[in-house]
Homo-oligomer: A and B are copies of this chain.
Amino acid sequence: MIGERRKFNRLGEDGRRAALIAAAIALISEGGPATATVRAIAERAGVTPGLIRHYFTTKEALMRAAYAQVMDAMTQASVDVLASTPNRPQARLAVFVAASLRPPVVDSRAMGLWAGFLHQMREDSEMRAVHEASYLHYRDLLQGLIAALPRVADAGQLRADAIACNAVIDGLWLEGSALPDAFRPGELVRIGLRSVSAILGLDLMAEMPERGI
């Protein structure tokens, strides 16, 4: 009676796929991409390694799914704050920018996760497509907020403004996540709002809620 076969219960397509993706994200987030092996992911998900290949044709496919989910979650965190914001265009833009520049969006683990995926992009064209989609998704959201502002700007100007604002947010997010101790509390949000204001020619600081930062 030494060879007892392991008990298990079935989750079915949706549940199991989600569990495997969650396990992969957790591992990459904790120990980097190198630690997210097929075996480790399976163990974290309470499953045997072979099962991964039953849901994903290859490990890279699982990685792509995980990356898409991470990026969606970050964007969503910035979108969520819009729900409880008054309908003034400047206020909405200001809150959106600010939310992108503080936790949980700014986070060293999220950045490590992001970087871990990023380096796969050069070899894996499907991964590049996932990246492009999530980048454009965020930028389009930003562009929509900018377009709602009361000002005159043609389509080309709008596109350039969205690219510029997206870049400054990306850059601040990146360094803030990589070097948390290099910036004072609230400094990133303040600089981000000032920069976006300067690029668009308005004053977002005036629109921020009273609690400072």
Binding site for B on A (CB under 8 A): 31-33, 108-109, 111-112, 115-116, 118-123, 128, 131-132, 135-136, 160, 163-164, 166-172, 174-175, 178-179, 182-183, 187, 190-192, 194-195, 198-199, 201
Contacts and interface: CB of A to CB of B under 8 A. Distances in A.
A137 B171 CA distance: 16
B108 A122 contact: yes
Contact of A132 (B33, B109, B168, B182): B182
Copies, count: 2
Contact of A123 (B31, B121, B167, B174): B31
A115 B123 contact: no
A175 to B, nearest CB: 7
Nearest to A31: B123
B171 A118 contact: no
Contact of A194 (B111, B118, B160): B160
Contact of A178 (B31, B131, B183, B190): B131
A178 B119 contact: no
A122 B135 contact: no
B182 A168 contact: no
Among A128, A172, A195, max chain B CB count under 10 A is at A195
Nearest to A174: B170
